[in-house]
Amino acid sequence: MRKIRIFEHISLDGVSEHNEGYEYGGWTAPYRTPAGLASLLEAYGTSFDLLLGRGTYNAWSGFWPKAGGNPMADALNTATKYVATHRPDGLEWGPVQYLGADAIEGIRALKATDGPDLIVSGSLTLTSELLDQGLADEVVMIVYPVLLGRGKRLVSDSFNACELAFVSSVATPTGVLLNTYKHLGALKK
């Protein structure tokens, strides 16, 4: 059985994604270092596949294939991409597989197979759904020392509360924290 591991870049105030045209669009860039990349790659593991929503797939397919020659690009480009989408046409950045008309059932079936971990990054709508459905095994929050104030949050307002158990934390030289948590399920009232 595969593990689903969610990796999300977030600000201290919980913003994961900015809106188009946001003046601080590159807010993660000043905090990137070779040591931080090494920590992130170590957290991803040596072998993984990607589980992506269509928006993240489209954004990444326009960037990563042209960014070869570095460890992150090489790892992402060689991973199989499983895409949750209602529009399976145009999935050209491969290896790639469409999860089917019912993406959650496709993910359940995929999770039940043998293979490398499934890494989710970006794909915030998918992240909320995976946590709500109890399909996520682990959450890695890559927390940047910034407050953004506005933008898309890690989970939606309709998200059902869940409980996480702390596993580990790694700090990069620029103050970015890679906090790993095990997903325990619904938060008890």
Based on the structure, what is the number of domains in the chain?
A: 1
DSSP secondary structure code for residue 23 in this structure = T
Q: Which domain holds residue 106?
A: 4-115+133-158
- Among the residue ranges 21-35, 48-62, 117-131, 172-186, the one predicted with the least confidence is 21-35
**Strands 4-11 and 117-121: what pairing?**
parallel
- Find the mean pLDDT for residues 125-145: 93
In a domain, 109, yes or no: yes
152 closest CA partner among 10, 21, 7, 6: 10
Q: Is residue 44 part of a domain?
A: yes
CATH assignment at residue 93? 3.40.430.10
Task: Say what the pLDDT of residue 22 is.
Answer: 59
- Please indicate, yes or no, if residue 27 is contained in any of the structural domains: yes
pLDDT of residue 112: 96
Q: Does residue 174 fall inside a structural domain?
A: no
| 101 in any annotated domain | yes
Does residue 32 form part of some domain? yes
Which stretch of 42-46, 104-108, 164-168 has the lowest confidence by average pLDDT? 42-46
Tell me if 25 is assigned to some domain.
Answer: yes
Mean pLDDT of 164-184: 95
DSSP string, 82-119: EEE-S--TT--SSSEEE--SSHHHHHHHHHTS-SSEEE
Lookup: tokens for 51: 């589980």
